Structures are given as C-alpha cells and as structure tokens.
Amino acid sequence: MIKIYNTESISVDDILSRDIKKSGVEDIVAGIIANVKENGDKALREYSLKFDKAELESLEVSDAEIEEAFDAVDEKFIGILKKARDNIYNFHKHQLRNNFVINEGDGVILGQKVIPIEKVGIYVPGGTAPLPSTVLMTAVPAMIAGVSEIVMTTPPNSEGKVNPVILAAAKIAGVTRIFKVGGAQAIAALAYSTESVPAVDKIVGPGNAFVAEAKKQVFGKVAIDMIAGPSDILVVADGTNDARVIAADMLSQAEHDKLATAVLVTDSEELAKNVSDEIERQLSVLPREEIARASIDNNGKIIIAPDIGAAIEIANKIAPEHLEICVDNPFDYLNQVKNAGSVFLGKNCPEPLGDYFAGPNHTLPTNGTARFSSPLSVDDFVKKTAFTYYTADALNKVCDDIAYFAEQEKLSAHARSVTARKNDQ
C-alpha cells in the first residue's frame, strides 16, 4: 500500500530512492560489447537465440515484412499513428535552428552552421509491451533535423518477427532501415557495426538496465541522448480533485516498471487518504497489477504539503520526469517550475496525452536529471559548426593583443602563428 508522509517526515532524497540492484550488469555488458565487436553478426544471432528464442536468417527487416506488418495493423490504429506523427512533427518543427552570419563590414565575418548528424540509431524496446510511440518520438525529430539515415533496432519475438505496430510506426515515421536486434548487443552493433548493421553517429531511445549500461559504455565512440532510468511521475493536486482520476494518473506510470515511481504532493489530507484508497481499488482490476503494485508498494509516495506553492517547490527539488499540476489555475504556477522533464497543466491534461499524442517529446530526463538536461528534441540530431574569416587588415589590428594573450598562457607558438602574418605598415 502506498505510504503517506508530510513534508517534515521525509526528505527529498528519499522520495525518488529506489532499490535498484544492477549487480554484474557492467561486466556482462562489457562482455557482450566485446563479443559483438569481435564476432559481428554471428554474435548477434547467438544472442537472439539465447535471449529472444529466435533463430534468425536475416537480421534486417525486409520491405516485404514491413508491408505485411503495415497491412496487418487495423486501419483505425494506422490513422491514430498518423495523427500522432503529425502532432509530433508540428511541435518539433519549431525547434529547428537557423544558420547565422555576423558581418559588420570591418573585415571580420563570423557565423554558425547547423548540420544534421548523418546516421542515427534508434533503439526501441520489446520488453513487456510494444512501444510504437517511442518510434515516433525518436524518428520524427531526426527526420525534421535532416538525418539522412535513421537505423532502428528492436528485439524480435520467438518466431523471428517484429511486432507489426512497431514496423507500421517505423514506416509512418520515416525510418530508413530496421534490424531485429535487441539488448546491449544492439547498442554494440550500432556503435561498432557488424556485417549487417551499420555503425551510426548517435544512439537514442530507452531500454532496460543492460541497454542503459551499454549506451554508457559506448559513449565516446558514438554520442547518446541520455542514460534513462525507470520512469517517474509527480502529481501536484489540490483538494478539489477527483481521487479516482489522480490515482489513475499515478498508476499510468506505475504500470511501466516495478522500479517506476509515482508521487502525489497535495495540500489536502482528505485527498491523500482518498487517493490511497482509490489506488488499492484500481490496482485490483489492473491487468499489469503485479508490476504496478510493486512500484506503488516500494516506491510510491503521497506527501502532504502546506500549500500548492510549497508543493511546486518540492517538485523543483525532485526534478521529476513528468509533472502534473492539477489545479484550476495551473498557469499561475508554470513560471515557478524550474526542474521538470515535461509539465502537464490543469485537470484535463493526463500524462499519457504526452506519451502518445499531444506533440512534445516523451523521451525525458529521469532520476532527477531534469535539473540539468532536457527532453529529446531536434537539437539532439544536429551539430553546430562555427566559422571565422578575417581580412589581413582585420587580423593586423588585433595581432598584438592575441600574441600577448598567448604569451600569458606560455604558448609562444600560438603567438608566433599570429605574428607571422603581421603586416607592418
């Protein structure tokens, strides 16, 4: 049963604490990466047989398989996927950055070019549920950025097939190539390449502890988006809310993972008690009860705060992945929010709206990292290159200053590089 606290009886550090046991994960992942680097496709097939119970001839999903999967998904869901894609596109297109040039006519031209990353790898988990939303949320921003090759990896089922809704979403989102590879071995393949899987420049997408550890270990060889941990939600709600709705919102994250965290911060003792009771009632009829109950019992918390302003301050200290502000005047509090992955404003904006449909990205910083990081965006799929141009006269004007600066750092060759070009007039 979920625990209820007041702000004086629990510290912020305790609110998102989880008993995460990753004994041996680092060594196991290191071994998988080394095996894939050495043995390529052979290692991938062996891991597929071991972990997915699938014997694969071809690792790449064929065009025929994609078309077959697309035809197998009901038309209603295809329509919904396209609506979601359009919403995601319409939001993320505003994140595009422009090149700029500074030319003040003094012989100096400065500027910045925004260049798409050429090859990006998208990891889409198989796990306990298919996640076509992850396909859309990763591929659409990459496509907007102008990435020329979007390579997706996802684990197959025991028959060697990828879930049809995953393939349908990939087609709708503009994924270039798809491979039936999951786990740490997929990350290794994307980082180092095999006979079938090309190496990419950046890897994005969520995964389990092994995937997260693999991303950590290949970082430097390739870029990554973030090291994502278990999902979390923090709901700020006043006493005017329906306990049934708040409980449903909390369980929407609890059903993700036994390590997920759902927290309610409220100024109402009555709502706190009613939500606790309602969570128990809804858990009993939830198809994923075992997962959600473990999350609620081990990590779920209800915190009673003096007022909603204090609740927002608690949220800022926790820096949740998802923050719901369930009050009638949510915009009054928006500017007070400093640390949150994504904010859902008002009583009619449940977090799953953002998971699937609204448009903002659902790949968000977890474990309090919203203090310093941001949701996945178009920015994650571009790089910036600066450029500088000086005429001889322009360089001559600043030559002595630069040389003097270099000498203060004891770098005389730097100084000489500039003074060698000096034009004595």
Tokens of 361: 């990205």
Q: Which helix (H) or strand (E) holds 68?
A: helix 63-72
CA 364 to chain centre: 4
Q: Are 178 and 156 in contact (CB under 8 A)?
A: no
Question: What distance in Å separates the CA atoms of residue 122 and residue 347, rounded to the nearest whole number?
Answer: 33
Q: By the 8 A CB rule, do 347 and 245 touch?
A: yes
Task: Say how many C-beta atoms besides its own lie within 10 A of residue 182's C-beta.
Answer: 28
- 108-116 and 100-103 beta bridge pairing: antiparallel
> 374, exposed or middle or buried, with CB in 10 Å at 0-12, 13-18, 19+?
middle
The type of residue at 380 is D
Query: What amino acid is encoded at 48 in this protein?
Result: S
What 3-state class would DSSP assign to 101?
strand
Q: Does 290 participate in catalysis according to the annotation?
A: no
Q: Pick the catalytic residue: 255, 321, 324, 351? A: 321
Identity of the amino acid at 302: I
Contacts of 281 (CB under 8 A, 6+ apart): 247
Active site residue 149: no
Catalytic residue, candidates 213, 322, 324, 351: 322
Task: Work out whether the CA dihedral 156, 157, 159, 165 comes out positive or negative.
Answer: negative
Rounded distance between C-alpha atoms, residue 155 and residue 61, angstroms: 11
Sign of the C-alpha dihedral computed for residues 353, 357, 361 and 364 taken in this order: positive
**Nearest C-alpha neighbor of 218 from the set 185, 182, 191:** 191
Q: In this structure, what are the phi and psi dihedrals at residue 342, rounded to the nearest 5 degrees?
A: -150, 140
The secondary structure of residue 62, as a DSSP letter, is P
Residue 387 CB partners (closer than 8 Å, separation 6+)? 109, 110, 111, 112, 113
- Residues annotated as catalytic (active site), given as ranges: 321-322
